[in-house]
Chains A and B, each alone.
Chain A
């Protein structure tokens, strides 16, 4: 695990007088599942948005597989191999599950014009079916995504993030609002995918049980700065982290 996929270097971001992120640096390596946790207002989302190019940091830089992502649009980041999921449900409700997955992968197949003159599924039906089976959504393949339950839509959302075979996937609160059974299923699938494809994950999550059992390393933010970094066991035993969450 030495190949750096995501490198965050000295990122600082302020909003007026509030220092949302202060001089944060860390690397994420190929195949790693990194959890980014911290109490509310700790700067997780600001950092996430800096990585995704949605916010321009005041200082520092972010590279993905060695390429600077500053000023990149979301679609350009996707082409660089960055997949993501959203906190809120983010499927295409009036399209079938299959079409959701094909759309998730089609923009990575050939040029815009070759897609226009190529097959209507951009040659992705087989791959989409594999992904649907992987997330055990086969029985919902032709259903409208908007007609599925909240948890099922979360699974579709996750499956979409992998359709372009990304090097890095940013999962923004994947456990939010998902019932325990579904959560266990999602975690197991993410772990399997990570093991089989060596895809790097960065997970923002408030569900500690989910983070501790999914991630291989955890970075803890508080008041915009890193207060701890280590394995789930180390973080669990870290007094600074306990103080940050519970108050010293």
Chain B
């Protein structure tokens, strides 16, 4: 089974390397967008899927990352410095935004984070001296790696892919570390987790802060990709779109955001044949998906595997031990 998984991962990676050579410029741009949004969805998956804290603020964190990168790189500073600043800013703001989560939960927390997204949008729109207001910032440069310009779309795709792989590996390491177990403990039974020594306050704040930092990284990749940013790219609707990616893919599953972002980004492209009706079909498909598999596509897959296994002869020892336990 493990070998099969490794083989699957290698095949996906090979597919990602080959993909831009089979696509025109726009196709490569869509693939890059998918990678960028997957990073943002990964962050929300930590906050929501693993730690169980609802957040509608991921677009605002993308905005903070994107504006930091745009402002700094346009001032001639290196991209990597802007990433450090953008992610650091998001981490600190995420930490602060996590504080309400210590007092309120569920839909109340959703409203707190929604208000933050609106606030961030207003700052981006109104503080023209810094953000360019509704006109945004034009001409965000793409970074160079070892003197190699990434202005070419395919090159920038590979750069994004590299960062995406690093972000994914870090995420894998994090959620499989004792921290990941503490995040899940917070989601499943915070009172019990606290009684076992898990500092649930700290873990809640970290879930917000680290998730926000991933949002910042995503923004830092997005600004040079689009080369133009404006406040409309970071509104509540974008936060909801990222939430949809996490939920459709499978909240709390490592690969959930990968699949969810793929679906949310790619599906409209495949539905272009429907012209004016594509949004209606898209919405209907999302409704259908949510009704059929509320735990997301990976949740559905997981249920399917469990159903197949349940047809095999039971191997659970408790069934053999019977009354002993």
Contacts and interface: CB of A to CB of B under 8 A. Distances in A.
A92 B184 contact: yes
A91 interface: yes
A55 interface: no
Interface residues of A, number: 46
Given A91-B192, A139-B316, A151-B325, A75 B197 contact: yes
A95 B181 contact: yes
Interface in A192-215: none
B189 interface: yes
B325 A164 contact: no
Contacts of A155: 325
B323 interface: yes
B178 A185 contact: no
Interface string B71-89: 0000000000000000000
A140 B316 contact: yes
B18 interface: no
B177 A120 contact: yes
A184 to B, nearest CB: 11
Interface in B24-58: none
Contacts of B195: 74-75, 77-78, 84, 86
B318 A139 contact: yes
Interface in B188-237: 188-189, 191-200, 202
A75 B198 contact: yes
Interface string A88-132: 001111110001001110111100100110101110000000000
Nearest to B179: A116
Nearest to B320: A139
Interface residues of B, number: 31
B185 interface: yes
A131 to B, nearest CB: 13
A75 B199 contact: yes
B177 A115 contact: yes
Given A75-B194, A112-B202, A103 B185 contact: yes
Contacts of A77: 195
B318 A140 contact: yes
A107 B192 contact: no
A9 interface: no
Contacts of B323: 181
A152 interface: yes
B22 interface: no
A116 B174 CA distance: 7
Contacts of A73: 194
Contacts of A108: 197
With a 10 A CB-CB cut-off, give which of B179, B195, B316 has the most chain A CB atoms.
B195
Given A84-B195, A181-B323, A152 B318 contact: yes
Nearest to A104: B196
A236 interface: no
Contact of B178 (A74, A84, A94, A122): A122
B3 interface: no
Given A90-B192, A139-B316, A140-B317, A103 B177 contact: no
A143 interface: yes
A83 B247 CA distance: 36
B278 to A, nearest CB: 37
A118 B178 contact: yes
Given A115-B178, A140-B316, A185-B325, A107 B198 contact: yes
B265 interface: no
Interface in B141-192: 174, 176-179, 181-182, 184-185, 188-189, 191-192
Nearest to A151: B325
A71 interface: no
B192 A92 contact: yes
A86 B193 CA distance: 12
Interface of B: 174, 176-179, 181-182, 184-185, 188-189, 191-200, 202, 252, 316-318, 320-321, 323-325
Given A92-B184, A120-B178, 18 more contacts: A75-B200, A78-B195, A94-B188, A95-B184, A103-B182, A103-B193, A107-B197, A109-B178, A112-B199, A118-B178, A120-B176, A120-B177, A138-B317, A139-B316, A140-B316, A140-B317, A143-B316, A164-B196
26 contacts: A73-B194, A84-B195, A90-B191, A91-B192, A93-B188, A94-B184, A94-B188, A94-B252, A95-B181, A95-B185, A106-B181, A107-B196, A107-B198, A112-B179, A115-B179, A116-B177, A116-B178, A116-B179, A139-B320, A140-B317, A149-B318, A151-B325, A152-B325, A155-B325, A164-B197, A181-B325
